[in-house]
Amino acid sequence: MDLATISKIVGAMTAAQKKNAQSVIVALDQYGARFGLNQPHRQAQYLAQLLHESGAFKWDRELWGPTPAQKHYEGRKDLGNTQAGDGSRYRGRGPLQITGRANYREFTKWCRAKIDAKAPDFERNPELIVTDPWEGVGPLWYWSTRDLNKYADRGDVEMVSRRVNGGTNGLADRLDWYDKAALVLLGYGKADVPGFQRAAGVLVGGVAGPRTRAALHKALVALTAFPARSKDVAAAPVVETVTKTVGVPVEVPVVPAAVESEVKRKSGMGGWLMGLLGAAGSGLSGLFGADWQTVLAIAGVAGFAVLLGFLLRNQLIAGLRDIRDGLGA
């Protein structure tokens, strides 16, 4: 992973964005393999969540208002915020927004056990979370302690999002970042959905849906050779929670049921008659050795003549009766 790859996914970046992205890249390269994040299908999921939560690496800490939601951070025991001012002091920091005194404490313990025994005390000095290398290490802690590789191995963006955010907030944006990250990691342009769809044999529509994402997941998994590939890899779900779009009404001609029934009856009779003529044509062609289309044409003319005679029979009979009555008079 390098900054050039991130730039292909994000596009033009400011100096601040590049700095924040570089922190993630360094940590991923140094420690990612320890936590299974050296496999492209997992990296695509990882980047999608980080890009959403950080606004494409624009923010390395939670913007503080406080908003009504942020005011509720104060005194939240589930976050370990037990002292006055903890809500603001332990606001979200890092690409995945580590939030709450308890999480800062747990992050400290994890870093000292997994990364460096001399890691800072982040509970005591919360701002140090957004310094290197800890800014890039923070998402690795969150990802590994929540076992998110399990969902990444299934290609399940929605479940990863639920574990990160607690729901489906921003799911559409997370899916969009996943599409871009996956395409770039596969060697396509971030918007070249049609190109990938053609190569993967997926219906080309230019928009990434569940089937396209399942194909992206499969292609990403194939980039990791055995035995390095995770044993828990599974096909991505084809069904996702999506918002239904209301279609534009289209006028449809209404046909009375009686008329429709009669049309179907006559159409059925016509089909039966054509089938009969076709069979007769094939039989005659075999009998006379002529081209069956020619025989069918002859049979059709003959059939038409018989049909015409049948239809005019009543008129002929009535005419003969008039002539007879005239002679009798």
Note whether 155 and 54 are same-domain residues: yes
Contacts of residue 243, defined as CB under 8 A and 6 or more positions apart, other chains included, come to 172
Note whether 20 and 160 are same-domain residues: yes
130 assigned to some structural domain? yes
- Of the candidate ranges 129-143, 152-166, 215-229, 296-310, the one whose mean pLDDT is the lowest: 296-310
Instruction: Quickly list DSSP for 222-280.
Output: TTSPTTTS-TT--PPPS----PPPPPPP-------HHHHHHHHHHHHHHHHHHHHHHHH
10 assigned to some structural domain? yes
Which position has the higher pLDDT, 111 or 249?
111
Contacts of residue 325, defined as CB under 8 A and 6 or more positions apart, other chains included, come to none
175 assigned to some structural domain? yes
Q: What is the mean pLDDT of residues 237-266?
A: 43
Per-residue confidence (pLDDT) for residue 269, from 0 to 100: 46
Note whether 199 and 107 are same-domain residues: yes
Note whether 84 and 143 are same-domain residues: yes
Residue 237: which pLDDT band, with cuts at 50, 70 and 90?
confident
Per-residue confidence (pLDDT) for residue 226, from 0 to 100: 72
Boundary-marking domain end, from 186, 221, 256: 221
Note whether 186 and 278 are same-domain residues: no
- Phi, psi dihedrals of residue 61, rounded to the nearest 5°: -155, 160
Sign of the alpha-carbon torsion through 10, 12, 17, 18: positive
Exposed, middle or buried by CB within 10 Å (0-12, 13-18, 19+), for 193?
buried
Q: Where are the alpha helices (H) located in the chain, listed in sequence order?
A: 3-10, 15-31, 40-53, 68-71, 86-89, 101-114, 134-145, 149-152, 157-165, 171-185, 193-200, 210-221, 257-288, 292-328
When divided into structural domains, the chain yields a total of 2
Residue 309: which pLDDT band, with cuts at 50, 70 and 90?
low
Q: What is the mean pLDDT of residues 127-143?
A: 97
CATH number at residue 171: 1.10.530.10
255 assigned to some structural domain? no
Give me the domain span that covers residue 127: 3-221
Boundary-marking domain end, from 221, 240, 256: 221
Note whether 24 and 166 are same-domain residues: yes
Which position has the higher pLDDT, 266 or 192?
192
Note whether 74 and 151 are same-domain residues: yes
The per-residue pLDDT of the chain, averaged, comes to: 82
153 assigned to some structural domain? yes
229 assigned to some structural domain? no
Q: Do residues 39 and 143 lie in contact, with contact meaning Cβ atoms separated by under 8 Å?
A: no
Note whether 183 and 272 are same-domain residues: no
Per-residue confidence (pLDDT) for residue 298, from 0 to 100: 59
- How many angstroms from the chain centroid is the CA of residue 139? 24
Nearest to 1 by CA among 32, 21, 30, 25: 25
Per-residue confidence (pLDDT) for residue 287, from 0 to 100: 42
CB atoms closer than 10 angstroms to residue 329: 5
Residue 275 clears pLDDT 70, i.e. is over it: no
Boundary-marking domain end, from 205, 221, 237: 221
236 assigned to some structural domain? no
Per-residue confidence (pLDDT) for residue 110, from 0 to 100: 98
- Of 91-95, 226-230, 272-276, 277-281, give the range with the top mean pLDDT: 91-95
Note whether 146 and 287 are same-domain residues: no
Per-residue confidence (pLDDT) for residue 325, from 0 to 100: 52
Note whether 131 and 279 are same-domain residues: no
Residue 229 clears pLDDT 90, i.e. is over it: no
Residue 121 is given by DSSP the state -
Note whether 191 and 280 are same-domain residues: no
Nearest to 92 by CA among 82, 108, 75, 104: 104
Note whether 139 and 82 are same-domain residues: yes
247 assigned to some structural domain? no
Residue 16 clears pLDDT 60, i.e. is over it: yes
Residue 96: which pLDDT band, with cuts at 50, 70 and 90?
very high
